[in-house]
Amino acid sequence: MSRSLRRAPRMLVAFASLIVAASALSACAAADASSDDAGSSDSSGAYPLTVEHVYGETTIEEKPERIVTLGWYSQDVVAALGEVPVGVEDFTWGNVDTYLPWFADKVDELGGELPEIIPFTDAGEYDFEQILALAPDVILANHSGITETDYKRLSEIAPTVGFAESVWASDREDLTLTIGSILDKEEEAQQLLDEADAAVAAAAEAHPEFEGIVFTYGWYLAEGETSLGLYLPRDPRVPLLEQLGLTSSPDVAALEGTTDQFFANVSLEELGDIESQFHIGWANSPEEIAYTVDDALVSRWAPIAADSYYFFEDQRLGWATTAPSVLSIPATIDDLAAALSAAVPAN
């Protein structure tokens, strides 16, 4: 029998997953009772499992053991669920170590070996031969920027799960429960989500000063650029900060339909039209921060002019917002809230 994991509204994902799992278990039990050789060899009824994503459907025949993750998120969920990937995408972007600290700590806790790093080739694509040599049972790219061409080539190696709708934009609950289903660990995935949500709620309660503050989040201004990139509400950074009590700028939300990316480029001449009381930024160095805030047009933007901004010089926290997973949140949310609290303006 086959189980299909289909997309549902965020509030229904966990409930729907449990109902589907229960139905599959019941059906398999009935089949086993009526015939000794009926049904799948996997008595749990979890497989085959069909997962829908932006590039179609992927069927996973049995529980995967050798897992490759591409992107910035899935490896955390896999590790949090007690499995160690055999390969993960290169994280040497920005001033961070090859492995994010909470991931490396979890692998050590599990007694596993750190996975092989999968870099991009000089042609700007994944090293497909390297991935093939890892002999994966599944390739998880739930939060990534893989193209349809990438997806087709990866699918020739192993069943590949792409992102749900948009590049680099995934819902924490949906992603976690999807991977939980793929690993036949839905209950554990839901428990991890509950614990992460509780940690964010506790941090929000400890910092009532966030309530009502309209914020924007983007990155630094590179030399010669005439626009500033701001993350859209679909990007997981924004919902995390909203959970802490901050309010996303409605002017940035209005840009959602203007691009298929997870960010929007706002012309510096029009930056003053973007409502923001508090700007949060990503930069790799103090020099990049200074270049950004000293720009003639950026410096006149309300949050910068009011000295109401915070740039992540501690890139551990920057990455914790970039991929706010059930592994990274418990490890960083208190530090993140404290850092923002020190910079946020008084109501």
Q: What is the DSSP string of 316-345?
A: HHHHHHHS--TTHHHHHHHHHHHHHHTTSP
Domains, the chain, in order of start with CATH, read 54-184 (3.40.50.1980), 203-341 (3.40.50.1980)
Residue 75 and residue 85 in contact, taking contact as beta carbons nearer than 8 Å: yes
- pLDDT for res 224: 92
The residue count for the chain: 347
**Average pLDDT for consecutive 10-residue bins of the chain (347 residues)?**
43 37 40 37 71 96 97 94 95 66 96 93 85 98 94 97 90 96 97 98 98 96 95 95 97 92 95 98 92 97 97 87 94 96 86
Residue 111 class from Cβ within 10 Å (0-12 exposed, 13-18 middle, 19+ buried)? exposed
Distance CA 74, CA 100 (A): 13
Q: Which two tokens stand for residue 209?
A: 């000063």
- pLDDT for res 201: 98
Distance CA 207, CA 192 (A): 23
Distance CA 173, CA 22 (A): 19
Residue with tokens 């599990």: 110
Residue with tokens 């993750």: 69
Distance CA 320, CA 334 (A): 11
- pLDDT for res 121: 75
Distance CA 12, CA 246 (A): 25
- pLDDT for res 166: 87
- pLDDT for res 93: 56
Residue 103 and residue 76 in contact, taking contact as beta carbons nearer than 8 Å: yes
- pLDDT for res 124: 75
- pLDDT for res 26: 40
Q: Which two tokens stand for residue 28?
A: 């398999």
Q: Parallel, antiparallel, or unpaired: how do β-strands 263-267 and 247-248 relate?
A: unpaired
